[in-house]
A and B are shown apart, each in its own frame.
Chain A
Amino acid sequence: MNDVNNNLLLKPVNPVGIVGYGAYVPRYRLPASEVARVWTNGQTALPIKEKSVPGLDEDVATMSIEAARNAMSRANISPAELRAVWVGSESHPYAVKPTSTLVAEAIGAVPNVQAADWQFACKAGTEAMVAAIGFVGSGMARYAMAIGMDTAQGRPGDALEYTAGAGGAAFVLGPADESLAIIDATYSFVTDTPDFWRRAYAKYPEHGQRFTGEPAYFKHIMEAAQALMEATHTSAADYKYAVFHQPNTKFPQRVASMLGFTKEQIAAGLLVPVIGNTYAGAAIIGLTAILDIAEPGDRVLMVSFGSGAGSDAFAITVADAIRERRDRAPRTQDYIARRTLIDYATYARYRGKITMK
């Protein structure tokens, strides 16, 4: 490996892996056809089949707590051994007051712990994962938890309303020799690209229409994936599975094809058609669905994308411990199968779109 490429990779001093993981998806589903019925008389090509909608009593804190409990069940460690609980999201319940302290308290990880909320649009979760890898890999902590979770909103009638879903995943990062999957390397590619944003106090985000495609999503994912594969001397054929940020069905399918991945390689992690775009949870809940079925030795490429913009790419190898640990908590598909369809009116009530005062 040449020095230039080796220096680009984010690799810890001590090898790190995923000791436990957990997913969460709320129960309710809004078919994209309902959005089209209300706003375009049904005259719209649908970007997905349906999206997940949180119940009235759910938010990023409650959803993170459930994913974190699932991750702790698989890790089978004492919560007092965690030295970090980090939550990445663009929909934290408070503008000021950490989600992470609430999650840490609920899972029993307080008080000897780092807690912080992360923000980078849809890559806040993988950003927290990379930081946790550094925290563990440097020897500062034996275990650290990273969560990506969102209850994203799109403006009523906007293209994003069809897809803005709810869900995410939690990971316990720890020593590689205790892990169910080893993090071989990560690489991050970031530029200042204004494809999507939400200003302070604004309820709904703005986006750059077609600008969100080539210069944003495709540019950053391609650069991140290619640099990681080049530096690790791997190609698409070396990976059993791949998962990319999934804001709609077409984007991840197209970027996978551009990078040389087949439909079979991305099938297990492609959840956007049935749960929508879970923003900070989107790439990583694809990873939990893959870990649910992967076998020891399988390699996984994961590349997130966050608007603003950047991508984190991960090369992961599944380890033997996956077999005994994956059934200690519900699988991602268990949550997807638990499904109650709602209409647009119920959705409008659940998402606080009806003015009460």
Chain B
Amino acid sequence: MEISRHWRLRKQRYALVGEVCPHCEAKLFPPRDICPECGQEARTLYQFSGRGEVYSYTTVYEPPAGYEENAPYTVALIKLEEGPIVTAQLTDLGDQPVEIGTPVEMVTRRLRQDGDERGMIVYGYKFRPALARVAA
């Protein structure tokens, strides 16, 4: 049971809330309170747009414990449009091929359950291919 950790991370996990450095404007994700660019304190919350592109990816066929239900699944490094690179699962791929550079957007999804079906459901960010606007 890791209830306290899931609870503590909920803002960054549900909505990609990171930080912006008030000194050098660098956008930080995950939030770490110290800017890795200029070394000064950075505690201002920043809501990322959720848009980015696939920087690299791989498909997991032998998942770690807790992720068996979703396998096989694709994990990617996503370069956010604000700069940071985050690791996340890709979802809603359907029959759509993944390529480096594929535009993606953040969605909040079920990551896993804590323990068995009696445990809490853990939600967090994943990325999916950017939804095409087809309707006129």
Which A residues are within 8 Å of any B CB, using their own CB? 26-28, 55-59, 61-62, 65-66, 93-94, 102, 105-108, 292, 330-335, 337-338, 340
Number of A-B residue pairs, CB cutoff 8 Å, is 69
Check A334–B135 contact: CB distance below 8 A: yes
Cβ contact of A340, chosen from B70, B89, B95, B126, cutoff 8 A: B95
CB distance from B54 to the nearest CB of A (A): 18
In the complex, the chain A residue whose C-beta lies closest to that of B128 is: A27
Q: How far is the CA of A332 from the CA of B134 in the complex (A)?
A: 10
| Cβ-closest 8 pairs across A and B | A340-B94, A333-B135, A57-B109, A106-B14, A331-B135, A337-B134, A57-B110, A65-B108
Q: Chain A nearest CB: distance from B67 CB in Å?
A: 11
Partner of B134, one of A55, A94, A108, A334: A334
Residues of B within 8 A of A57 (CB): 70, 89, 91, 109-111, 126
Q: What would 12 more interface pairs be, CB under 8 Å, given A332-B135, A335-B131?
A: A27-B92, A55-B109, A56-B70, A57-B126, A58-B109, A93-B121, A102-B14, A106-B14, A331-B135, A333-B134, A337-B135, A338-B132
Contacts of A337 in B (CB 8 A): 132, 134-135
| Interface pair A62/B110, CB less than 8 Å apart | yes
Q: Is the CB of A62 within 8 A of B108?
A: yes
Asked if B75 is at the interface of the complex by the 8 Å CB criterion, the answer is: no
Residues of chain B contacted by A338 (CB below 8 angstroms): 131-132
Q: Which residues of B contact A331 (CB under 8 A)?
A: 133, 135
Chain B residues 55 to 114 lying within 8 A of chain A, measured CB to CB, are: 69-70, 89, 91-92, 94-96, 107-111
Give per-residue flags for B1-37: 1 if the beta carbon is below 8 A from chain A beta carbons, else 0.
Answer: 0000000001100110000000000000000000000
How many Å lie between the Cα of A304 and that of B48 in the bound state?
37
Instruction: Name the CB-closest residue of A to B92.
Output: A27
Count chain B CB atoms within 10 A of each CB in A55, A65, A292, A332 and give the residue with the most.
Answer: A55
Q: Is the CB of B132 within 8 A of A55?
A: no
The 8 Å CB contact of A105, one of B14, B47, B96, is B14
Say whether, besides A66-B107, A330-B131, A333-B135, A108 and B121 are in contact (CB < 8 Å). Answer: no
Instruction: Check B131 against A106 for contact (C-beta < 8 Å).
Output: no
